[in-house]
Amino acid sequence: MARKKPGGTPATVALTRAGVDFTLHTYAHDPRATSFGHEAAEALGVEADRVFKTLVADAQGTLVVGIVPVTRQLDLKALARSVGASRAAMAEQSTAERATGYVVGGISPIGQKRDHPTVLDESALAHPSVFVSGGRRGLDIELSPTDLVALVGARVERIARPEH
């Protein structure tokens, strides 16, 4: 993977400043798409379990970022436990957008407006590289999961469950 020059989104700027190797992947986002992550996997021609979605939850008043494969759902109870809370609920879309500085469907775990406790599903470590949003729809970042953990200070735990 190659380093990219500064510019672009806050995520790409943060990666470049940190000296992290990454690759940007772009695709034509279809505004009618109902699953941004599955759309990205298909458009980029990669296994969907390597594409991770970034979700924001409210764990008893604390916003928490959960990063899970697009093929699975965020287990809110597991996410709450990982940050010492008894329960969590998905944050309102407007809250997530204000807290991260990104729009839903383009929320990156990297370069957010504020630091939030972040938890990466342990399945990420099974892959040499994973894909996360680059900060806008149609832009994904490929990087090693260990670099992602180090960059955002994530805990690694089982926080994903099968889709229903």
* Tokens representing residue 155 in the block: 């805990």
Placement of tokens 């992947």 in the chain: 25
Burial class for 62, CB neighbours closer than 10 Å (0-12, 13-18, 19+): middle
What three-state secondary structure class fits 82? helix
Q: Give the least confident one: 12-16, 20-24, 160-164.
A: 160-164
pLDDT in tens, 100-110: 999 988 999 99
pLDDT in tens, 32-86: 776 777 788 888 889 999 999 999 999 999 999 999 999 999 999 999 999 999 9
Domain 10-162 has CATH 3.90.960.10: yes
* Tokens representing residue 67 in the block: 């990063």
**What is the mean pLDDT of the segment spanning 85-99?**
97
pTM of the model: 0.91
* Tokens representing residue 112 in the block: 């957010």
Sign of CA dihedral 103, 110, 48, 140: positive
Task: Give the residue extent of every domain in the chain.
Answer: 10-162
